[in-house]
Amino acid sequence: MPDLKILIVDDSPTMRRILVNTVVKAGYPNCKEAEDGKDALAKLMAGDFDLLMTDWNMPNMNGLELVEAVRLDAKLKTIPILMVTTRNMKEDIVNAIKSGVNGYIVKPFDAKTLNAKILEIMG
């Protein structure tokens, strides 16, 4: 699946760079970035992405709000979503899954974990 088109959403430029580098290292060079949920939603509407990777804690529109907006949109509702966040409380994970994420990774993580989760989600 090296041609997988991935949108990576995080308000931290440093974390976006780390995520992009990790995803590229895992064999997925086709990545785009967004700085928050609003930016991501606009890019999702305009693009043709195969996977959405989003942080939770962001300004303007957080990751959970982004997930809910994507799941309500007829064009976007089937895109697989991986939440990549520092939030590791059980209730957060349950809320994310109820909102429609396909996978959940807690930061920090390694390339092997990320790749395994991508393969699991993309089936």
CATH for 69: 3.40.50.2300
- What type of residue is 102? N
3-state secondary structure of 54: strand
Length of the chain: 123
Q: Which tokens hold the place of 45?
A: 């509407």
Whether the CB-CB separation of 9 and 66 falls below 8 Å is answered with yes
pLDDT band at 2 (very low <50, low <70, confident <90, very high): low
Whether the CB-CB separation of 96 and 83 falls below 8 Å is answered with yes
List pLDDT tens digits, range 55-111: 999 999 999 999 999 999 999 999 999 999 999 999 999 999 999 999 999 998 888
Q: Please check whether residue 110 lies inside any domain of the structure.
A: yes
Q: What's the pLDDT at 110?
A: 86
Q: Please check whether residue 30 lies inside any domain of the structure.
A: yes
Q: Which residue range forms the structural domain that includes residue 17? A: 6-116
Q: Please check whether residue 1 lies inside any domain of the structure.
A: no
3-state secondary structure of 51: strand
Number of domains in the chain: 1
Closest by CA position to 118, among listed 36, 15, 25:
25
The model's pTM: 0.95
